[in-house]
Structure 1
Amino acid sequence: MSSLKGLAFLLVILTSMIIPSLFFLQTSAQTSLTISPSNSSILVDVSQVAPPDALDPATGFYVQDGPLYQAIFQELVEYNGSNYLQVVPVIAQNWSTTNYENWTFYIRHGVYFPDGVQVNASTVWFSFYRIILMGQGPGVANYIELLFNSTQYGQTGYALPWGVAAAIQNVTGLPTTKNATLAAKVLASILSHFNAANTTIQKIMEYPYQAVVVEGPYKVKISTLEPYRYFLLDIASWWGAIVNPVFIDEHGGVQPNTPNSYINDNGMEGTGPYVIKSVGPSLSEIVLVKNPNYWANNLSNIPVVAQPGHIPVIDIKYGLSHNARVEDFATNQAQISYVSLPFLQQIYSAYQYNKYVSFNQIFVNLGYEAAVFYIAMNTQIFPTNITAFRQAIVHAINYTAELDVFKFQNQTLAIEYLGPISPVFPLYNEVMQLDKLHPYTYNLSLALHYLNEAGYEGHFYVVLPNGTTIGDTNGKQLGTLTIYALAPVNELEQEQLTIVQDSLQKIGISTSIQYVLPSVTDNWITPNGTPALIDLGWFPDWPDPIFQELMAQTDVLYGGISGDLAWVNISTLQQIYENLPFLTNQTQQTLEVAKVYQILYQEAPYAWLPNPVVYYFVQPYVKGFVYNPFIGYYYNLMYYQPYTVTISTSTSITSSTTTTSSLTTTTTTSTVTTTTTSSLTTTTTTTSSSPSTLIYATIGIVVVIVIIVVAIVLLRGRGRGGGPGF
Structure 2
Amino acid sequence: MRKTTGIVVAAVLIIALVGGIYYATMLVPQSTTVTVTLPTPTSVTTKTTGPPPTTLVIDVATDPMGFDPVTCGNDVDFMHFQNIFDTLVWYNKSDTTTFQPRLAERWDVSSDGKTWTFYLRKNVKFSNGDPFDSYAVWYSFYRVSKMDGPASYMIYGWMPPPFDSARFNKTVEIVDKYTIRFNLEKPYGPFLATLSTTVASIINPRLVEEHGGIVAGEPNTWMTEHGGEVTTGPFVVKEWVHGDHVTLVRNPMYWGEKPKLEQVIIYFKGEALSRVLDIKKGAAHAVQLTGRAINDVLDSPGVVVMRAGHSFNIEYLYFDVTKFPYNITEVRRAIAHAINYDAVMNSAFAGYAQPFVGPNPKGMLGHDESMRPYQYDPELSKQLLAKAGFPGGKGLPTLKFVYPTGRPSTVLSAQQIQADLTSIGLDVELVGLTDVTWVNLCYAIPHSDPRYPSFSMARWMPDFADPDNYAYSYLYPGLQQNLAQYNNTRVTKLLEEAKNIVDKSQREKLYFEINKIVYDEVPYIWLAQYEGIFVMRDNVHGYYYNPMLTLFDFREIWLS
Contact 1:380 1:527 in 2 (8 A): no
Q: CA offset at residue 503 of structure 1?
A: 1.1
How big is each residue's C-alpha offset from its partner over 1:299-355, in whole Å with a ceiling of 9 and x where there is no partner?
xxxxxxxx3211111101124422221222111111011222212232347x4xx2x
| 1:438 partnered with 2:372 | yes
Alignment correspondent of 1:540: 462
How big is each residue's C-alpha offset from its partner over 1:9-33, in whole Å with a ceiling of 9 and x where there is no partner?
xxxxxxxxxxxxxxxxxxxxxxx97
| 1:316 partnered with 2:266 | yes
Contact 2:354 2:530 in 1 (8 A): yes
- The letter for the 2-side match of 1:339 is L
Contact 2:442 2:483 in 1 (8 A): no
Q: Spell out the pairing of 1:66-465 with structure 2 (5 A cutoff).
A: 66-98=78-110, 99-139=112-152, 141-148=153-160, 150=161, 153=162, 159-160=163-164, 163-164=167-168, 210-267=170-227, 268-282=229-243, 284-296=244-256, 307-348=257-298, 351=300, 354=301, 357=302, 362-405=304-347, 412-429=351-368, 432-433=369-370, 437-455=371-389, 460-462=390-392
| In structure 2, distance between residues paired with 1:115 and 1:532 | 49
| In structure 2, distance between residues paired with 1:230 and 1:523 | 26
- The 1:231–1:407 alpha-carbon spacing in structure 2 relative to 1, beyond 3 Å, is closer
Contact 2:96 2:465 in 1 (8 A): yes
Q: Spell out the pairing of 1:469-480 with structure 2 (5 A cutoff).
A: 477-480=395-398
Alignment correspondent of 2:414: 497
- The letter for the 1-side match of 2:202 is I
Contact 2:136 2:203 in 1 (8 A): yes
| In structure 1, distance between residues paired with 2:269 and 2:166 | 40
- The letter for the 2-side match of 1:393 is I
How big is each residue's C-alpha offset from its partner over 1:171-199, in whole Å with a ceiling of 9 and x where there is no partner?
xxxxxxxxxxxxxxxxxxxxxxxxxxxxx
2:424 to 503, 507, 518: 507
| In structure 1, distance between residues paired with 2:63 and 2:459 | 20
SS in 1 for 2:366: helix
Alignment correspondent of 1:170: none
Contact 1:462 1:478 in 2 (8 A): no
- The 1:493–1:104 alpha-carbon spacing in structure 2 relative to 1, beyond 3 Å, is same
Contact 2:318 2:458 in 1 (8 A): yes
- The letter for the 2-side match of 1:325 is R
Q: How many percent identity over aligned positions?
A: 25
Q: CA offset at residue 582 of structure 1?
A: 0.5
Higher helix share: 1
Alignment correspondent of 1:615: 533
Aligned residues: 508
Contact 1:406 1:612 in 2 (8 A): no
Contact 2:349 2:409 in 1 (8 A): no
SS in 2 for 1:264: helix
Q: CA offset at residue 232 of structure 1?
A: 0.6
How big is each residue's C-alpha offset from its partner over 1:612-638, in whole Å with a ceiling of 9 and x where there is no partner?
212231110110123433241211211
Contact 1:381 1:527 in 2 (8 A): no
- The 1:482–1:162 alpha-carbon spacing in structure 2 relative to 1, beyond 3 Å, is farther
- The letter for the 2-side match of 1:636 is R
SS in 2 for 1:579: helix
| In structure 2, distance between residues paired with 1:58 and 1:528 | 26
Contact 1:161 1:211 in 2 (8 A): no
- The 1:581–1:379 alpha-carbon spacing in structure 2 relative to 1, beyond 3 Å, is same
SS in 1 for 2:513: helix
Q: CA offset at residue 524 of structure 1?
A: 4.7
Contact 2:250 2:262 in 1 (8 A): yes
| 1:602 partnered with 2:520 | yes
| In structure 2, distance between residues paired with 1:371 and 1:507 | 30
Alignment correspondent of 2:11: none
Contact 2:404 2:410 in 1 (8 A): no
Contact 2:126 2:232 in 1 (8 A): yes
| In structure 1, distance between residues paired with 2:460 and 2:166 | 29
| In structure 2, distance between residues paired with 1:77 and 1:526 | 36
- The 1:294–1:217 alpha-carbon spacing in structure 2 relative to 1, beyond 3 Å, is same
Q: CA offset at residue 287 of structure 1?
A: 0.5
How big is each residue's C-alpha offset from its partner over 1:95-114, in whole Å with a ceiling of 9 and x where there is no partner?
00022211000111111112
| In structure 2, distance between residues paired with 1:332 and 1:161 | 53
Q: CA offset at residue 479 of structure 1?
A: 2.7
| In structure 1, distance between residues paired with 2:32 and 2:358 | 48
| In structure 1, distance between residues paired with 2:197 and 2:157 | 18
Contact 1:406 1:413 in 2 (8 A): no
| In structure 1, distance between residues paired with 2:154 and 2:547 | 17
Alignment correspondent of 1:672: none
SS in 2 for 1:277: strand
Contact 2:54 2:558 in 1 (8 A): no
Higher relative contact order (CA 8 A, sep 6+): 2
Contact 1:147 1:223 in 2 (8 A): no
SS in 1 for 2:72: coil
Contact 1:145 1:225 in 2 (8 A): no
Structure 2 residue runs without a partner (length 5+): 1-30, 39-52
- The 1:585–1:161 alpha-carbon spacing in structure 2 relative to 1, beyond 3 Å, is farther
Contact 1:309 1:635 in 2 (8 A): yes
SS in 2 for 1:462: helix
TM-score, structure 1 as length reference: 0.67
**RMSD of Structure 2 on Structure 1 (CA):** 2.1
| In structure 2, distance between residues paired with 1:102 and 1:341 | 45
